Amino acid sequence: MVRDDQPMQRFDSIGCDLVVGTAVRATIISHEHWGVMAEVLGHETLGASVDAGVIDSPSGAPRALPGEYPPVGEQVDAIVQEISRYHPPVWIRLTMRAADLHEFSWPCGCCGELTVLSPGGDGVTVDVRSSGGPGCASFVAHRSCLAGRLNPDFNGDRARVNAVGRDQPTPQGTETNRPE
């Protein structure tokens, strides 16, 4: 129980720098019948796994066969496919498919169509949190779907949804004077 004079413990803030679509390096720590357990470099305290269905199969099988899993101890490139922060422990699901490493897509929580979450894509991740307690729900959306559902009077919010994570030119009138 949290007393009024004690801050709430938020397990859901662990790994907040990771969002769906983030490219990471991971070390394979074990083989399981369903896939592999992994440690995301820089986030070793979080649980992580890769289902055999998102590991490329050299044999052409729809799911990688256990003999096709990367060796234990090997470092691999991966993409964050999902992050569970609803209840502890925080858990990361990764994908190692070559196609996902090139361009990762996930269904939009608003329209259901795929949205690209790789850099330069049209997708964003929305985290839903409450001041009343820990736990975080996340969903992916097209920028346009999310911006279109905001109150039309919230122009600043719409602009930020469309700008977050993108390189933005310096707004007119805010350039700094630099000596030549």
Summarised one tens digit per residue, pLDDT across range 40-78 is: 999 998 999 999 999 999 999 999 999 999 999 999 999
Name the more confident of 12 and 44: 44
Mean pLDDT, rounded, of the chain = 86
pLDDT > 70 fraction of the chain, expressed in percent and rounded: 84
Confidence of residue 177 (pLDDT cuts 50, 70, 90): very low
- Highest mean pLDDT of the ranges 16-20, 33-37, 154-158: 33-37
Phi, psi for residue 110 in degrees, rounded to 5: -95, -50
Residue 42: name the closest of 14, 63, 61 by CA: 14
Q: Where would I find the beta strands (DSSP E) of the chain?
A: 23-32, 35-40, 43-51, 75-84, 91-95, 105-107, 114-116, 123-130, 133-142
Provide mean pLDDT across the span 77-82: 96
Residue 143: name the closest of 131, 119, 127, 159 by CA: 159
Alpha helices in 84-174 (DSSP H): 98-102, 143-149, 155-163
Given a cut of 70, whether residue 14 has pLDDT beyond it is no
Confidence of residue 176 (pLDDT cuts 50, 70, 90): very low
Give pLDDT, residue 158.
87
Give pLDDT, residue 84.
86
Q: What is the DSSP letter of 85?
A: B
Provide mean pLDDT across the span 152-161: 87
Residues with Cβ within 8 Å of residue 57, at least 6 apart in sequence: 63, 64, 65, 68
Contact in structure between 160 and 146 (CB atoms under 8 Å): no
Residues with Cβ within 8 Å of residue 126, at least 6 apart in sequence: 109, 138, 139, 140, 141, 146
What is the spatial distance between Cα 140 and Cα 121, in angstroms, rounded to a whole number? 12
Least confident of 9-23, 54-68, 165-179: 165-179
pTM listed for this prediction? 0.81
Give pLDDT, residue 173.
45
Give pLDDT, residue 175.
44
The partner residues of 26 in beta bridges, in order of sequence, read 40, 76
What is the spatial distance between Cα 17 and Cα 147, in angstroms, rounded to a whole number? 23
